Copies of this chain bind each other. A is one copy, B any other.
Amino acid sequence: MAVSRRGPRERMVFSAAQLIRRDGVSATGLRDIVAHARAPRGSLRHYFPGGKEQLVNEAVEWAGRYAAKRVARFLAEMPEPSPSRLFDAMVRQWTDEYRSAGFATGCPVVAATVDRAGSAESTREAAAAAFAAWNRPVARALTEMGVPARRAASLATLMISALEGAIVIARAERDVRALETVARELGPLLDAGVAPGD
């Protein structure tokens, strides 16, 4: 499922992101990715002449775009948006997944950063770009809710930092406690300064 339509190339990128966020970059083999994507191994070289590094980078970029789109979707589904409600939605995406599917996975961008930042410069850049792509729509949303532009960017960084850290802790503890905690504790801070009731 979710691997059916679309061409083999896209499936490989998608599968790479899924496996990387579960096992890490080093532990994810090209053969695993190809098998997971049900794609022909013979095409690997054809689509990704830059080798594993290129495929990993594209998976990271994909994850960045995905996170950005999710933010837009959260906002669209929200009757009365507020900073804390946006953060709740971002956190809930993870608590829901962990509760329903177990704690097997984390964020692919974090995984790529942690085990490629020092060895593959291009992957590090892709991760930085992914974080930026994610930060942008969050900051913009905060701005539209009445937060001054400068502060909005900072709060977006705080939200993503706290979320990513809590994801790691939740995985280690196999408990959504950390995620629920950051959502609860950060909510009031995020809403402060935004006129209530409008």
Q: Tell me if A145 is interfacial: C-beta within 8 Å of chain B.
A: no
The reply to whether the CB of A26 lies closer than 8 angstroms to some CB of chain B is: yes
Are B118 and A114 in contact, with the CB atoms below 8 A?
no
A169 within 8 A of B: yes
Docked-complex contact B22 and A169, CB < 8 angstroms: no
* A119 in complex: contacting residue of B23, B164, B168, B188, CB < 8 Å: B23
Can you tell how many copies of this chain the complex includes? 2
* Count class of interface residues, chain A: 35 or more
Contact assessment for A117 and B103 in the assembled complex, using a CB-CB cutoff below 8 Å: yes
Task: Check A118 against B182 for contact (C-beta < 8 Å).
Answer: no
Question: Among the listed B111, B130, B155, B169, which residue makes an inter-chain contact with A185, where contact means beta carbons less than 8 Å apart?
Answer: B155
Chain A contacts to B: CB under 8 angstroms: 22-27, 103-106, 109-111, 113-115, 117-119, 124, 127-128, 130-131, 154-155, 157-158, 160-166, 168-169, 171-174, 177-178, 181-182, 184-186, 188-189
Shortest beta-carbon contacts, A-B, top 3? A24-B115, A161-B165, A26-B26
